Each structure stands twice: as structure tokens, then as C-alpha cells.
Structure 1
Amino acid sequence: MGQMTADQYLDQIQNQLMKTLTEKKDAMPPGFNQQRFALNCITVIRDMMKDYKKREQLQTVDINSIVLCMIKGAYLGLDFLNGECYAIPYKGEMTFQTDYKGEIKVCKRFSDDPIKDIYAKVVREGDVYDEGVEAGVQKLSFKPVPFSNKDIIGAFAVVMYADGTIKYDSMSVEEIRHTKDVYSKAANSQAWKESFGEMCKKTVIRRLSKLIDLNLDKVELIKAYEEGSGFEFENQQISGGSTRQPAQLPGSDNVVDAFAPGQTAGQKTIEQKPQPAVTPQDFRKAPEREPIPAEEVPQSMPDEGFMMPEDFPDNELPFK
């Protein structure tokens, strides 16, 4: 293995990512900005390299796996830098997972019926929560104790359509923990340990999405969305919920733009070859690249792929 600097490593990822984005351009949302998406992805990888544990994990992941993970976010129009989705080194591969914010964005964008709002809340001890059906209409009321830090006892999610109708789903904390323990790909991840409330909301939002008619009209979209859940249901019954149904392929192209329009790379067909794991002997610190400003960068839940970075000395070898 020849020597490779940090800059060369990031350039290799970026070049491979741009080639793949061009090859898969028909599966991208209209107006998708390739350069912006690619540079934001490189910023995320650079931040991961600043954490010792993540650098060690990246050593076991080849470049092709990183690119394939990033492409899944592009299919759904989600931005890694905005915290709408995550790239997580897991068992020698880079795995793709959506965030709570990403789940909401996907539902709003791909719902056949226009959605006015969609959200999820956790229910804690002492909160007043009531649900039911009155005259054939679903009713739900929730009055939380302000700023309560008491134990979480459940979570619910609501989708409000433009026509005024609603759908909702709820899960007890026991159901959520069962789903995590039985179906999660990373049940012991930092996200579950340190952001349990956010993961509760993501879990119930994902189950509610089974009741929403999502117009995922391309195979790439369906696969990315299913993998992004972070769960492996294998067509089994989800605790307390409905059986996972096979993805449908409705024939509509009504897709909302993912990012602001921008110049994209010229179309080229380039054969994609797997890249080996990077183990350079001379991994020097590269010049900083400026991230592309995001329209909105909300606070993101801590995730195992994004721990607080610690700068490493110029002569430290991130990869052994």
C-alpha cells in the first residue's frame, strides 16, 4: 500500500462520490446539487477523522462502502451535514441511518396526500395523555409537565394532513425497548444510550410511516429508506404494531426538490471499482476545506458516527 495523505484520501472519496452521483443522476431528486452534497459529505468524513475511535473504525471501511452509504442519503434528498441522516462505521462497512428529522422530511416529501405537519413526542411520568375514537373520528390529547425530566413511559407520533384529517400511532416504552433489543442493528449504540428520547421518537415515526402512503417510486429510494430505519424486521411483526408490508412502486414522479438548484457535473459513464481500506503510513494533516453553508442546521442528536472531534497532532497517524 502506497502512502496517502489526508487530502488525497478525501479527494479519492470525493471523486468516487461525484462519479457515482453522475451515474445515478436519474434516481436523484430534481434540482439536486451534486457539488454541494459531495462537499458536505467530505466535511462529515473529515470531522470523523478527528476522533481517534472513528479513525480506527474508518481503517476497516473501504472507500466504495463509504460512497455507497452517502449515495443513499442523496436518493432521499437528506443531508449528512445537517444531521438528517448518518454515516456510521459498523462491522467493517459504512451503514446508513436516518435521523428523526430525516424521517419527517421523507414523509412530507413522498406522501401521496399533502401533509400539513408531522411530529412525535415522548410521554413522561406525570404527563396527561389520552387517545381514542369519538363518533368514528380519532382523537388525541396531550398535556406534558413543563420541563419534566421524569422517566419516559412511551411515545406517540401524529401526521396532520392538509384536509384536516389525522393519523397517529403510539408505543409504550416497553414496546420501544423490545423493538430496539430484537430488531435494532446497533442496540448498544451511543444514540440509544445517550439520546433515548430522540430514538423513541424516531421509532414511533417509522412505525407511523407504515400508515402513510409514501410514493417511493424508484427501487433506489425504497432500499435507502428501508435501510435507513436502523432496524432489521425481516417481514416480522413489529412489537405492538402492524406487519411490515412489501414496498409498493406507484408510478408518480411528483418529487419535491432536495436542495437548491446548482450546477452539476457533466454526465460520464465510469466503471466503479471497489477501493481498498486505507492504511497509509504517512497520513499528514490536510488543509481545511470550508463546508458549504446549510440553509438550516438544527441541533442533532448525538450519534455513534459523530462524537465530539479532537484535533490530532500533525505527526499522528490516524490509520495504522
Structure 2
Amino acid sequence: MATDIQVLAALEDLLEAKHDALPSGFNAVRFVQNCKAYLPDVRGVDRIDADDIAQQLFKGAILGLDFNAKECHVITEGAGARFQTDYKGEMKLVKKHSVRPLIDIYAKNVREGDGFEEAVVEGRPVINFNPLPFNNSAIVGSFAIAQYNDGGMVYESMSAEEIEGVRTNYGKNPGSDTWDKSKGEMYKRTVLRRLCKTIEIDFDAEQRLAFEAGGEFDFGRQPRPKQQSPLNVESEVEPNATDQE
């Protein structure tokens, strides 16, 4: 339905019509050029409405993220498209917009054999992480840390089982092959998103909507229900095609 030329034309119209929503110092010409270089990598653009693709690209503009640098993505699903932030794009946004200035924010995966300890010492959280060199064992969990300029620190940790539960119950597309091809990045992204909920971020209304739209999960819906199998063993209901976005 759409060609790259049509998408870019629709995007330029959006950038002009909604320029007040764009970040200070935003370079529209460079953004469009980056999107032009990025679009050939998006599968299925030709079956999506040009305005729909342009709307997803515009969310990246609102947040000041670069598609060509893989800070965010357009994901095509069926006849529709959605915006998705990348792990490094989310770190960039939180560092830039945190009300309490940050030195750094990052996430790590913990694999079998790695040393990991979390504790509270004299009222302050402490994380000790000693990974084995070049460890390719199974991921057993992930953690994310935000370090503030004033010396404070907050963190979140999640087991692999907990992350998979969030994926199954709240994932916008839990069956996506991205989870299998880039499991490490998706795990880090999941725990980082949870950490972000504890950090006060100075977004305007448009930015907050774009940031929420870029998440991998929809926490506003009810978890997928469970049912009793014929063997009276509790099991999850297999989602129908209509259950997945």
C-alpha cells in the first residue's frame, strides 16, 4: 500500500504540522534523511498505510530518538505498525529526562555460574556482580541500576522466570521471534522498563504517550487466564490469534 516516498512525504507533513511537539533543537531534515536510510530495513512497509508508518516514525521524532542508529524501531504486524523503543534508546531518554540527575543507567544479564548478590548495607542498596569471562550459559535473571549524581542508587532485579511471565501475560507480541533472536537485549529491556517506573522523568504529555507506546508490554490488560488441563494440572490457556497484537 505504501512506498518509501509516500511515507516520507506523510512524515514531512506531520513534522511541519506538529513542530511545536518536537524537542528543542530538533533537526527535521536530518531526521527525515535518517528515516529514508532506515525504511528499507523495515519488513512489510508496502502492505501498511503510509500515514500509519509516518505516525510511528513521528513518535521517534517526539522523543528525539534516531531510527537509523537503532535507538527505536517500527514493527509491522499484519496490516498495522507500531513504534518500539530499543534498550539503548530508553537509556538515552532516562538519562536525559530524569528529574534527579543521573550519572549512568544500565542493565545486565546474570548467567549460570556468574556471581550475583544484592543486599542492603546501612540502609543503602548494594549490588555485587562478578560475571564469568565470556559466559554463554543460560540467563537466570537480569538487573538494572540507576546511579545519581548525588551518590544515590536505585535498582531492580528479575529472575528469568519472572521476565518470561511478564512476556507471556503482558507482551504486545509474546510470540515474536525477536525474543528468541535477541533474548539478552529483551531481558535487559524488560528489567530496565521496570526500573524506569521508580525514576521521576520530566516528559511532556506528547513525549510520555510516545514513550508508553514504545514499550514492549501492555500492563493495562488482565493477565492471560489459566485453566485446568484434563489431567488436573494447571496450565496456561494457549492464546488465540485474536489475543495477540
Q: Shorter-chain TM-score: which interval?
A: 0.7 to 0.9
Offset at residue 109 of structure 1 (A): 1.2
Report whether the alignment pairs 1:204 with 2:191: yes
* Percent of pairs with identical residues: 43
In 1, the alpha carbon distance for the partners of 2:5 and 2:33 equals 10
* Mapping of residues 73-92 of structure 1, within 5 Å: 73-92=60-79
In 2, the alpha carbon distance for the partners of 1:182 and 1:216 equals 27
Q: Which residue of 2 aligns with 1:43?
A: 37
In 1, the alpha carbon distance for the partners of 2:83 and 2:171 equals 13
Report whether the alignment pairs 1:23 with 2:25: no
Offset at residue 10 of structure 1 (A): 2.5
Report whether the alignment pairs 1:141 with 2:123: no
Q: Which residue of 2 aligns with 1:61?
A: 48
| Structure 2 stretches lacking a partner, 5+ long | 224-245
**SS of the residue aligned with 1:59?**
helix
Q: Which residue of 2 aligns with 1:216?
A: 203
Report whether the alignment pairs 1:103 with 2:90: yes
* Mapping of residues 242-257 of structure 1, within 5 Å: none
Structure with more of its chain in strand, by fraction: 2
Q: Which residue of 1 aligns with 2:220?
A: 234
One-letter code aligned to 2:195: L
- Alignment TM-score, normalising by the size of structure 2: 0.87
Structure 1 residues 233 and 44, CA gap change in structure 2 (3 angstroms): same
Higher RCO structure (Cα 8 Å, ≥6 apart): 1
- Alignment TM-score, normalising by the size of structure 1: 0.67
One-letter code aligned to 2:20: D
Aligned-residue CA RMSD (Å): 1.6
In 2, the alpha carbon distance for the partners of 1:231 and 1:114 equals 27
In 2, the alpha carbon distance for the partners of 1:227 and 1:91 equals 18
One-letter code aligned to 1:188: G
Q: Deviations over 1:192-243 (max 9, x none)?
A: 01110110000000000001001112x2111111111121110769xxxxxx
| Structure 1 stretches lacking a partner, 5+ long | 49-53, 238-320
Structure 1 residues 235 and 213, CA gap change in structure 2 (3 angstroms): farther
Query: Contact 2:91/2:106 (CA < 8 Å) preserved in 1?
Result: yes
Over 6 Å off, 4+ runs: none
One-letter code aligned to 2:210: A
**SS of the residue aligned with 2:135?**
coil
Query: Contact 2:171/2:217 (CA < 8 Å) preserved in 1?
Result: yes
For these two proteins, the number of residue pairs brought into alignment is 223
Query: Contact 2:63/2:93 (CA < 8 Å) preserved in 1?
Result: yes
Q: Deviations over 1:23-47 (max 9, x none)?
A: 1111111110001111111211123
